Structure 1
Amino acid sequence: MMKPLVLTTVACTLLSTMQLHAQSKVGTSVIAGKSVSLFDDGTWQYDQPDDADSSSCVVIVKDIRFCGDSNKWSRTNSPNAQINAQFQTSDTQYAQFVIEELGADQGVTLDLIGEAAVGFAAKASGVPASELPILESQAIELGTLKGRRISYSAVVDGRVKLVMINSMFVTPRRTMQIQTYEIGTQSLTETHAVLHREFLDAVEVSQ
């Protein structure tokens, strides 16, 4: 079992360190008549592969796109630099991506990510991690990726109630959290669970 100091260090790395943050999109351009995304590491890629359909997809990082209904999900400004992208479907329902270039090769596991996420939410709520309400925990899949989904409620700054559903995936060199959250409740509803599944189903990961 990891020592508390190690866990704290990894949690801070996952949630705060800019140097290990996944390559973020910084702009767009056109090459040979096709739209491309420009990344902060100096590379680029076509927004739509040659075999892609005409649906509108948003590039999150190089090999991850969100292809949800743009009439339902609108992209909003990310609340901080650690959030790769955030989307909104109502005044109280949001979704976001947190992607780090740190994975199993560096010793990261789903258990470690889950502990870090719960610990972060507990800190924002001003309670010990052991007292944060965990509403569910189950295995989940995204294409060929196998991960874990945990749901928990929090009261941020003692005022804002919310429920977070967090689907977490760890590959050899990457950690990905796909989160949806609903403000104003501390109960996990079937509507929120379905919304999360629909959002997850609209995520495309190139293998």
Structure 2
Amino acid sequence: MIRACVTGLSIALATGVTAQEVIGRSVVDGRAIQILDDGTWRYARPTEGGCEDITGFLRFCGKNDGWSRTTIPNPDVAAAYRYDDRHYAQVISEELGSDDGMTAEFMRKVVVENAAGIVGLRVEDIPVLDVYPSEVDGQPIETIAYTFEIDGLNVVYANGIFSSPNRTMQLMTFAIGTKFSDRHRSLHEAFLSQLRMDQ
């Protein structure tokens, strides 16, 4: 029952995504390639200590640290992971960035507005538990933690927001509960530390 609710939360909170997804693999002139969902292809990067591609510019290297990849709940989510029955993670990537107005401040408002809209509350009724600086692969990002209840299930999101001139990513973890616990904070930072970006 809880997993079904968590999947529902994943579907409800996803926003649009336009990142390329790998749909196949092959070999050209002896080199591995990835076939993308937009009909193009690219040379595959060498595997780095258990890293796996999420998008053409983002890899996750934490599957040996307790995170296991799960089924993507909808096309808006680039990757989904499970740590245990209480902690989950997702990546949403959009090829819109600060040049398009998708700044960290704008995204901070959007994620809270989305949460409020899903549960039928006002924005001011979604408690923001913390906003603090984080880091992904040496790049500064901002994390916003907020909580809400949906269908009797309390959930806390820690949403890391990366914004560059032409790209925005939501690098989020979420946990069942009402508080942004030290455990959740630690797992969120550990999840972020396992992401690698191609600049």
State if a TM-score over 0.5 links the two structures.
Answer: yes
- Per the alignment, residue 26 of structure 1 pairs with 23
Give the 5 Å matches for 1:118-157.
Answer: 118-156=112-150
Q: Deviations over 1:154-177 (max 9, x none)?
A: 112x32211100000111111001
- Cα distance in 2 between the residues matched to 1:199 and 1:129: 27
Q: Say whether the 8 Å CA contact 1:37–1:59 is kept in structure 2.
A: no
Q: Deviations over 1:26-66 (max 9, x none)?
A: 222234555432211233334433xx64x111111101100
- Per the alignment, residue 11 of structure 1 pairs with none
Unpaired runs of 5+ in structure 1?
A: 1-13
- Give the aligned residue type for 1:177: Q
Which of the residues 35, 39, 42 maps onto 1:42? 39
RMSD over equivalenced CA pairs, Å: 1.9
- Per the alignment, residue 63 of structure 1 pairs with 57
Give the 5 Å matches for 1:61-100.
Answer: 61-70=55-64, 72-100=66-94
- Per the alignment, residue 159 of structure 1 pairs with 152
Identity across matched positions, percent: 33
- Cα distance in 2 between the residues matched to 1:98 and 1:41: 18
TM-score after normalising by structure 2? 0.85
- Cα distance in 1 between the residues matched to 2:31 and 2:86: 36
Which of the residues 167, 171, 181 maps onto 2:164? 171
- Cα distance in 2 between the residues matched to 1:144 and 1:72: 22
Unpaired runs of 5+ in structure 2?
A: 1-13
The alpha-carbon deviation at position 144 of structure 1 amounts to: 4.0
- Cα distance in 1 between the residues matched to 2:104 and 2:61: 25
Which of the residues 184, 191, 194 maps onto 1:192? 184
Matched residue of 1:130: which SS? Answer: helix
Confirm whether residue 182 of structure 1 aligns to residue 175 of structure 2.
yes
Matched residue of 2:54: which SS? Answer: strand
Aligned residues: 186
TM-score after normalising by structure 1? 0.82
